[in-house]
Structure formats: C-alpha cells, structure tokens
Amino acid sequence: MLGRGLVKKAVAIAVAAGAAFVAVLCLGAVVFFALSVVIVPMAAAAVTFLLFALAAVAVVMVFLKKAEGDEEEDESSLSDGLAGRAFLLFRNRPILASVAALAGGFIFLRNPALATMVAAAFTEKSRHR
C-alpha cells in the first residue's frame, strides 16, 4: 500500500528530528554548564546562545547556497557598494563572514564613533553624475 510506506517514512523522519532536537538540547546544556564553571552563569547563557545562533546561521547559509544550485545571478549589480560586497561575502563564505561580523561588533563596541561612520556609509545614497 502506498499510504503505509508514506506513514512509515513520516514516522521515521519525526523520530530522527526528535532525536536530533534532544541531542542539540543536551549539547547546549553541556556547553552552558561547562562555561558556568569558568564564567558567571548569565554570561555562560549568553555565550551559549551566541554559539548556537551562529551555528544556525551557518547551517542556513550553507543550505541556501546548496539549494540555489547552478542559478547564476548578475553579481556585478550586487557588488555595487559596501552593502553589496557584504551580502556577497555572507552568501559565499558564511563562516568567514560571521567571524568578521563578530570582530566588527567588538571593534564597534570599543569605538562608537567608528560605528557611527560605518552606519552613515551604509545609509548614504550613491551619487550618480
């Protein structure tokens, strides 16, 4: 029967997804408690959240790139300006871009004037003559 095979596959996928969820949850708990030994629990929770958020973004970017396949867009129109180059960097190299974003965030926390200049550069409209 066609329906019986489909139900078995759906149950197998649900069990695999549940097992993966429990594994990731346990990994998060292990990371949190390991960090709690070294730093205060509130900071350990923040670092654990940041770690898993970055992992989720990296996985999403990798799967989006795989799903895109052989579709080629006109990258010359995307690479205009700083925002276009940043978008291409995140699309082509998500892990490198995530590390660069974290480093940039740390630099911006240390120097708010630099953050203001970069924000102005992103919002500035290009001038055509």
pTM, 2 dp? 0.44
Instruction: Please give the structure tokens belonging to residue 124.
Output: 């500035």
Which of the given ranges, 47-51, 108-112, 117-121, has the highest pLDDT on average? Answer: 47-51
pLDDT confidence of residue 104: 74
pLDDT confidence of residue 80: 63
Residue tagged 């480093």 (tokens)? 103
Longest Cα–Cα distance in the chain: 69
pLDDT confidence of residue 16: 84
Residue pair 121/76 in contact by the 8 Å Cβ criterion: no
Average pLDDT of span 30-45? 89
3-state secondary structure of 79: coil
Q: Is the pLDDT of residue 49 over 70?
A: yes
Condensed to tens digits (0 to 9), the pLDDT of residues 57-108 reads 877 777 777 666 544 554 555 556 666 777 777 778 777 777 777 777 777 7
DSSP state of 69: T
